[in-house]
Structures are given as C-alpha cells and as structure tokens.
Amino acid sequence: MLYSLARNLLFQVDPERAHALSLQALTGAARCGLVKPGAPRTVRPRTVMGLSFPNPLGIAAGMDKNAEYLDGLGALGVGFVEVGTVTPRPQLGNPKPRVFRLPEVEGVINRLGFNNNGVDYLLQQVARSGYRGILGINIGKNFDTPLERAVDDYVLALRRVAPHAHYVTVNISSPNTANLRELQGDDALDRLLAALKATQQALADSTGRYVPIALKIAPDLTTAQVEAIARRLLAHRMDAVIATNTTVGRDTVAGHPLASETGGLSGAPLHEAALAVVRTLAHALDGALPIIGVGGITSGARAKAMLEAGASLIQIYTGLIFRGPALVDEILEAIA
Ligand SMILES: Cc1cc2nc3c(=O)[nH]c(=O)nc-3n(C[C@H](O)[C@H](O)[C@H](O)COP(=O)(O)O)c2cc1C
C-alpha cells in the first residue's frame, strides 16, 4: 500500500534517480532504526556452496552496484544480497538516458554499462555497513580493458573482493559491455575459469578460507551452448551458476514503443527464457552444481516456478521496482 503510493511519485522521475531515492530512503530508515537492519527471515533455510542461507531469496546484482545500500537491502528480510558488478577501476558507464521502464509488461531495459566506483570504493562501503548476512560480490571487467586481457581484470578483482565476500560472482553475461559475452565461448571460458580456479585455490591456501565462485550466464544462448558451459563448470570444479542476466531478445515486448531501445531486458518478459535456461542447466548438471535462478520473478508463483525448475536459490531485481518490498513477503510466504 505504502509502496504503491511511493511508486506513483517515483515513476514520475527518471528511473536512475528514482532508484537512488528509494534505496537511500530504505537505508536511511534502517540506519536510524525505523526498520530493523539485517534481519533475515528464516524460511526454508538451506546450505548452498557450503554457506548457510536463512532463506533462498536474494537481491540480484546491479541493484546496489557500489554496496552503498546494504543496510537497507538487508532489512528487507532477504536471505542474501549480491552487490556489484564492480570493476577494478571506477567507470562512468554509458551516456544517459540508459534505463527505461516498461510498466505495461513489468519490464525494464537498461544499458548502464557497469557504471561503478571501482573495487576500492566498494570495499570501503562493505566495511562501514552493518549488514551481517550472506554477501555476494559480483565482478566484471573495465570497458577499456581489451578482451584478450579480460582474465587479468577478473583475477585482480577476485583477489581484492574474496576476503570480504561469502561468494564471488563472475559476470560474463552483461549485454552492455562490448564483446563481454564472447567470454562464454569454449576457449575463452576455459582460460578464464582455469585462472579463476587457480587464484581461488591460492587464496584459500594463504588465508585458510575457501570462497565459492559462481558464474553468471546470459539467457540468449542455445541449448547446446548452455550444455557446453555446464560441462566446463563441472570440469573446472566451479561452485555455482547464476541464470540469467538480462536478454537482448525483444520477442516478448514486440510492438512496445520502447522495445527498440538498446540494452538488456529484464522483468516479466524475461521469465520464460530464464526458466528454460535453468531447466537445461538442471538437466545437464544433475545436482552436481547448485543453480541460482533469476529472471522475471515478479510474484510468489514465479518464485516457486524457478525453484521447481531446479534452482536452489533465487534472486530478484525488476520485480522489486514494480512491486516494492511486499514482493519479498509474497515470495517468502509462497515458498514457505
Ligand atoms: C538496471 C539493472 C542493472 C543491472 N546491473 C547488473 C549488474 O551490474 N551485474 C549483473 O550481473 N546483473 C545486472 N543486472 C541483471 C540482474 O541482476 C538480473 O540478472 C536480471 O535483471 C534478471 O532479473 P530480474 O528480471 O528479476 O530483474 C541488472 C539489471 C537491471 C534491471
């Protein structure tokens, strides 16, 4: 109710401004005690990647790129929060406008392009937050790092963030960084995963703490490509897969006046494609690796569908824009 009033106001302003305003309000409320900070709700708790999740619902990457709103997001009662994508160096991202709401279909198109303040800033924010729940940190490469040197960016970022994260997500599936998704191809993926695994092991040896790594993939892959990625994840003994990122496809929003905006489409129009990737992964992995399902979870029923498709954990982003914090309650009730 409160959110539907706020939403009317928020939807009058530019999406990026509305995003910052609502997260600032939530975090301000958490910090001055209006909402209880860091109170994850215990609903169907589970152990995934060796970590104990109080409930399977998390916040997807991109909502809090710089880890500035952890206290507010934690107060929603979710089981985990993934911050980032963070790149080694700060970067501005693409020119504005670069986020578009499609309210008629509960969708968003964004072409932000990894706008973020860099890994040093993100770690400062993590250190000053009161959030004590499970924290994932999602890493990417800087836009001006050539693809041949992408591995260096990921290794550097992994080294920096791993000591401060419960798990690290490797994002090679954003459509808004030129050629990034080529890293999902056979040889490039092998090189990347081998380097990450070696770094992960070296860090574990020197610190005594093993930090799981999840790979986040796109929805715009053929079944054969998803199966090939699954085989590589197993071969390199990765810890989890996140499916999916936003789609470059527009079939589900054909005819919408904003359909031709460049970028990644998220929300309800992505749901079926994300579910299909999760089903393919579940079949190919056969329980050997956990799947984190994300894409178009805008209701309790859709959260259940994602879990039934084979996800061990789920994440939301666009649904929160349209439904507000009530979506968290609806999902936790539906899956209880
Ligand atoms: C505005 C916006 C920014 C995003 N930024 C990131 C990002 O930085 N890194 C990432 O891995 N995914 C990012 N995503 C993708 C989401 O994490 C998620 O995979 C996708 O939106 C599908 O979930 P949803 O339909 O619940 O939004 C972003 C999504 C949106 C809408």
Atom 10 in ligand 1: residue holding the nearest Cα: 61
CATH (domain of 154): 3.20.20.70
What range does the domain containing 61 cover? Answer: 2-335
Q: What span, in angstroms and rounded, lies between the C-alpha atoms of 216 and 174?
A: 9
CB 154 within 8 A of CB 195: yes
Q: What span, in angstroms and rounded, lies between the C-alpha atoms of 256 and 241?
A: 32
Name 293's bridge partners.
243, 314
CB 175 within 8 A of CB 245: yes
Which tens digits make up the pLDDT trace of 272-321? 999 999 999 999 999 999 999 999 999 999 999 999 999 999 999 999 99
DSSP letters spanning 5-20: HHHHHHTTS-HHHHHH
Indicate whether 39 pLDDT > 80: no
The pair of three-digit structure tokens given for residue 16, joined into one six-digit string? 């990026």
DSSP letters spanning 59-114: EPTTTTTTS--HHHHHTTT-SEEEEEEE-SS-B--SPSP-EEEEGGGTEEEE---S
Atom 12 in ligand 1: residue holding the nearest Cα: 61
> Which percentage of the chain shows pLDDT scores above 70?
98
Q: What span, in angstroms and rounded, lies between the C-alpha atoms of 189 and 235?
A: 11
> Which percentage of the chain shows pLDDT scores above 90?
85
Mean pLDDT of the chain, nearest integer: 94
CB 237 within 8 A of CB 215: no
- How many Å lie between the centroid of ligand 1 and the Cα of residue 205? 33
Pocket test for ligand 1, best of 17, 63, 245 (most atoms within 8 A of CB): 245
pLDDT at 29: 83
The answer, yes or no, to whether any atom of ligand 1 lies below 6 A from the CB of 267, is: yes
Which tens digits make up the pLDDT trace of 77-120? 999 999 999 999 999 999 999 999 999 999 999 999 999 999 99
The answer, yes or no, to whether any atom of ligand 1 lies below 6 A from the CB of 318, is: yes
- How many Å lie between the centroid of ligand 1 and the Cα of residue 295? 8
CA-based angle 293:334:166, to the nearest 5? Answer: 40
Q: What span, in angstroms and rounded, lies between the C-alpha atoms of 332 and 105?
A: 23
CA 305 to chain centre: 19
> What letter does residue 248 receive in the DSSP assignment?
S
Q: What span, in angstroms and rounded, lies between the C-alpha atoms of 292 and 306?
A: 9
Mean of pLDDT values over 220-235: 96
- How many Å lie between the centroid of ligand 1 and the Cα of residue 185? 21
Residue 297 CA, closest ligand 1 atom number: 26
Instruction: Cite the active site residues.
Output: 174
Indicate whether 1 pLDDT > 70: no
Indicate whether 4 pLDDT > 70: yes
Indicate whether 182 pLDDT > 70: yes
Looking only at the bridges linking them, the beta strands covering 264-267 and 107-110 are antiparallel
Mean of pLDDT values over 32-61: 88
Atom 23 in ligand 1: residue holding the nearest Cα: 295
Structural domain total, the chain: 1
Q: What span, in angstroms and rounded, lies between the C-alpha atoms of 190 and 123?
A: 28
The answer, yes or no, to whether any atom of ligand 1 lies below 6 A from the CB of 245, is: yes
> What letter does residue 133 receive in the DSSP assignment?
S
Instruction: Assign 237 to helix, strand or coil.
Output: coil
Indicate whether 33 pLDDT > 80: no
In the chain, alpha helices (H): 2-10, 15-31, 70-74, 118-128, 150-161, 186-207, 223-235, 271-285, 300-308, 318-323, 326-335
Instruction: Assign 121 to helix, strand or coil.
Output: helix
CB 323 within 8 A of CB 103: no
- How many Å lie between the centroid of ligand 1 and the Cα of residue 258? 18
Indicate whether 183 pLDDT > 90: no
pLDDT at 76: 92
Atom 29 in ligand 1: residue holding the nearest Cα: 62
The answer, yes or no, to whether any atom of ligand 1 lies below 6 A from the CB of 219, is: no
Which tens digits make up the pLDDT trace of 116-156? 999 999 999 999 999 999 999 999 999 999 999 999 999 99
Q: What span, in angstroms and rounded, lies between the C-alpha atoms of 174 and 188?
A: 16
The answer, yes or no, to whether any atom of ligand 1 lies below 6 A from the CB of 111, is: no
Pocket test for ligand 1, best of 78, 266, 277, 302 (most atoms within 8 A of CB): 266
The answer, yes or no, to whether any atom of ligand 1 lies below 6 A from the CB of 242, is: no
The pair of three-digit structure tokens given for residue 30, joined into one six-digit string? 């958490």
- Predicted model pTM: 0.97
CB-based contacts of 254, cutoff 8 Å, min separation 6: none
Mean of pLDDT values over 177-203: 92
Q: What are the backbone dihedrals phi and psi of residue 64, each rounded to the nearest 5 degrees, phi first?
A: -130, 80
